[in-house]
Amino acid sequence: MLEQCIFAGFGGQGTLLIGKFLACAGLMEGKEVTWLPSYGPEMRGGTANCSVVVSDRPIAAPVVTAPNSVIAMNLPSLLKFEHTVKPGGTLIINSSLTNAKSSRDDLRVAYVPATEIAEKVGNPKGANVVILGAYLAMNPEIVAIDTIIEAMKEELGPRKMKFLDGNIKALHAGIDYVKNT
C-alpha cells in the first residue's frame, strides 16, 4: 500500500491538522509516514496544503506531485490540484464553499457539504474533520477509524482535549454522509 495524498484549503480551515491526524494514525498502525506542509507567503485566508504519504514500505520521496487522493476544501485548491490526481484516484470537494464540479471522469469524486454537516452535529469548526471522515470512508484500507480517533487524542493533547468529542461526531458524520450518498 502506498497512499500519497494532498489536503488543501484556506489557511485556518485545519487542512494541515487533518493531514497530521492521518500521518499520526499511520504511524500508530506501524506504517511509514511523511507529512510535508507547503509554506510560503501564506496567511489566514490564503491557500495552505500538505502532502501526506502512508506506506507499508520505507518512503522514498515525501514530495507528492501525482497524488492518489486530493481533498479540496475550497475552489482554488480544486483548480490547483484536480488535474494532478492519478486516474482512479479520490477527489473530495467541500461543496459548502464551491458549486464547482469536477471535469474528470476517471476519478472517484465526492461532493461533501462539510460546513453544513459540521454545523448539524454542533461543531461548526469541524468541517475539516467531516472531510477527513469522508476520505476514510472512501479509502478504508489506509487506517482504521479507531486509530484516527487515537491520533486525534494524541495531536490535540491535554489542552485541546475538550474538542475531541465534537471532532469524533464530525468524523462519523463525514463517514455516514459518504456511506449514505
Partner 1 sequence: MAKKLMKGSEAIAEAAIRNGCRFFFGYPITPQTEIPEYFSERMFEEEVHGCFLQAESEIAAINMVYGAASTGVRAMTSSSSPGISLKQEGISSLCAAELPCLIFNIMRGGPGIGSIQAGQGDYFQAVKGGGHGDYNMITFAPSSVQETINCIGQAFPLAEKYRMPVMICADGIIAQMMEPVELPEMQPYEVDPAEKPWAATGWDPKNPVGERANVTSLYVETEQLDVLSARLQGRYAIIRETEPQWEAYNMENAEIVVTAFGTIARIAKSVIDELKDEGINVGMLRPITIWPFPYDAVREAATQPGVKAVLDVEMNAGQMLEDVKLAINGAQNVDFFGHCGSHLPTVDEIREKILSMREE
What residue ranges bind partner 1 (CB under 8 A)?
20, 23-24, 27, 32-37, 39-40, 59-63, 65-66
What is the per-residue DSSP string for 44-55?
A: BTSEEEEEEEEE
In the complex, minimum distance from the CB of residue 38 to partner 1, in angstroms, rounded to a whole number: 9
Pick 5 or 130: Cβ nearer partner 1: 5
Helix (H) or strand (E) holding 91: strand 90-94
In the complex, minimum distance from the CB of residue 177 to partner 1, in angstroms, rounded to a whole number: 28
Pick 38 or 79: Cβ nearer partner 1: 38
Pick 84 or 101: Cβ nearer partner 1: 84
Are 77 and 54 in contact by the 8 Å Cβ rule? The answer is: no
Report CA Rg, the chain: 15
Going by C-alpha positions, the residue among 50, 37, 51, 18 that lies closest to residue 143 is: 18
What span, in angstroms and rounded, lies between the C-alpha atoms of 86 and 68?
5
In the complex, minimum distance from the CB of residue 7 to partner 1, in angstroms, rounded to a whole number: 13
Residue type for position 152: M
In the complex, minimum distance from the CB of residue 127 to partner 1, in angstroms, rounded to a whole number: 23
Pick 31 or 169: Cβ nearer partner 1: 31
